[in-house]
Structures are given as C-alpha cells and as structure tokens.
Amino acid sequence: MKGRLLIVDDEPQLTGLLEYLLKDEGYETSCAASGELALVLAEKDHFDLILLDINLPGMSGMEVCRRLGASAPPVIFLSCRDDDSDVVGGLESGAEDYITKPFNHRELILRIEKVLRHTSATSVIRCGDLEIDIQDERVRCRGSLIHLSPIEMSLIKCLAASQGRIVSWQELIERVWGYHDWEGGHDIVKVTIGRIRKKIETQPGCPQYLHNEWGKGYRLCFKNFPVEP
C-alpha cells in the first residue's frame, strides 16, 4: 500500500472515479461528502494526504483546510474554480497544491506522488529524546541508534505518524500486519509493543513514549508531543 488518502467531495460520481483510480495505483481510500465529516475522519484516523474540494455543502474546503491544524496531512485542492485569486487563496489556507476540474487523471497521480515524496522526505518526528526518521526508517533514542525489526519499525512509524492520537489494536493489526482477521491480533500487537519498549524505554514497565490507553489502544507521546485529552 502506497498510502492512505481521504477524498472529500460531495459528487458521488467523482469520488467513485477517484477511488477506482487511486486503488488501482495502490492507495487505500476513504471518502467524506462534507467538511464536517472530513474533520471527524481526519481526527479519528491517519491519512497520508487529503484531496479536498472547495465547494462543499456547509463548511467550505478552505475552512476545512484552516481547521485541520499544523499536524494534519498535506492537502491538495480539487476545484472547478480557476481564478488566480482562488488558487492563491487555496495555497494560503495551507494546501500543498491546487488542481482545477476537470483534470488529467495521470497528472493527478503524479502530483499526489510529488507531494507525498516531499512530505515524507521531511518527516522526522521527535518526541523528547526519541527521534523517528520516517523516510530512512531509523530510530534514535537518547542519541543512540535503535535496531528495530521491520514489523517493529512499521508499528512505531504508524504510531508516530498519528502524532499523539490513540490507535486501536485493530487498526494497528490491519495497517502493520495487513490482517483483517483479528483473532489473536491483540496479543500480537501487545507483544510487539513490549519488545519496542524494552529497546527505547529506560523503564519499560513505566513507559514515557509508548502508552497503553486501556480499552482504547496505543499512542506515542512525550511531554512535548501533542496528546489528545
């Protein structure tokens, strides 16, 4: 899977076409028909990029982009508005790119790839003394390079990209292991979290970084890291 994309548009025909194109390219997609629902999904789930229409019912796409916040995934606007003022306004609201409708499908894919390359190239996430380089897949803790197995690396990258959000074990088992049958999944996640804690925590039994929120899931946090209430 290349990444998880959120498509925000109130035209079912267009969202259906985009889902088909993006899944064919190896992306996982979710859809929202309103700005309000887009904000809920962006808060609840992790996405690598958001394709956002400007003309939405209720809250406009530009308002959605402004409300997403600094820790949100990159945004590409898809809009029928092609005036220079609209393009400038869209970019000033925080979007990485602006594509006018109708658009060339191949161009859209290339622009998505370009934005994802740019954001991943600069995605070094720091939590106190813990540093996670998403692109190079390297983890340092208190200045020392930490050796993680591929599964352990995938798991900590997943939690790091969520930036303080609680991630359920069901979501982790699907995103890290690719399992949709959850039998035994909770124990698999728990054991892997325990192995990572032994490598990065000074006191694995009283973790600073990898927290277990009972009945909800896991999150990566530290005193200077965003944490949901």
| pLDDT-based confidence at residue 222 (cuts at 50, 70, 90) | low
- According to DSSP, the residues that pair with 208 across neighbouring strands are none
| Predicted local distance difference test score (pLDDT) of residue 69 | 66
Vertex 112: Cα angle to 111 and 116 (nearest 5): 115
- Percentage, residues of the chain above pLDDT 70: 92
Residue 225's pLDDT is what? 45
pTM: 0.57
Tokens of 132: 């996670």
For residue 137, the model assigns a pLDDT of 83
Q: What is the tens place of the pLDDT at every residue in 53-109?
A: 999 999 999 899 888 865 578 899 998 887 777 788 888 878 889 998 888 999 999
pLDDT of 228 strictly over 60:
no
